[in-house]
Amino acid sequence: MLKQFSKYLQRQGKSSRTISAYCRVMTLYFKWCEETFGEPPAQIYRANVLEYISYMRNLKNYSHKTINHHLSSLRCYCDWLIETGQQTEAAVLPSDFMKVQTQYASPCTVTKKDVEAFRQRILESGSKRDYAIVTLCAYTGIRRDECVNLKLSQVDLTSKEIRVTGKGDKQRLVYLNDKTVHALREYLKERQSASPFLFISRQSEKLTPSRINQIFNRYSDTITPHKLRHFFCSHALESGYSIHEVANQAGHSNVQTTLIYANPTAQAMKEKANKL
């Protein structure tokens, strides 16, 4: 069932990361059903959803944000069942979702000094490919999946721009700074492959998202591709980009997502609290 559900999510334009998260939630739900009722039901029943919400709140002590994540997955799974004729009624209602106070502090937790030290460690390792990947992520804010799916035909180093295909197959033009252009040019000098994809490995014509994670983990215990995306958004605003410019470059469908990066970091707010 989950394989068919995954294919449905792919048709919906969901990223591989989102698909993996949704399937993981559904696996947990089915496990709960099996432990509670003896076997997982073929449909998503309203009564079961309400019991599961109570279980998450009172026994697992999940945060409201985590509960909402589970409910989003259940609702999407239910939508698939209805679309394929396996179910007729919605089992997750809008009123089921928990109210969550909008985060105020910027999610950025790494400084430019941290990022530059990270880049330097990779530069000194001798891997021009890894150095190009990290530099691209840090100074364009592209997602991990967008990075591995980037093709040579989408890169124009003369014009200093790349065409990125993001969520929902939406394309956007992302501009490159000089350090990113230099890093990519140095990598391309030694790249030898007929693969249409920009970043390759010895084993395949395309890197996988998990391989990107391994690269980051090799050089840092704290910096991840997603944290570099946070860094780009925060650093771009500090450098004079407008909210709409950052939203466009990062591929945010809603500027409200971008606005949060204009707020001080959690550390800055703690420092202010100590001055009271």
Catalytic positions, please? 143, 167, 226, 229, 252, 261
Q: In whole angstroms, how far apart are CA 146 and each of 50, 139, 164, 171, 239?
A: 37, 14, 7, 10, 24
Q: In whole angstroms, how far apart are CA 40 and each of 1, 28, 33, 37, 88?
A: 12, 11, 5, 7, 18
Measured in Å, how far apart are the chain's first and last C-alpha atoms? 55
160: left (phi over 0), alpha (psi -120 to 50) or beta: left
Q: In whole angstroms, how far apart are CA 232 and each of 21, 29, 49, 159, 200?
A: 24, 36, 39, 21, 24
Alpha-helical (H) ranges within the chain are 2-11, 16-37, 46-54, 64-83, 112-125, 128-140, 144-148, 178-190, 209-219, 225-238, 243-250, 255-259, 266-274
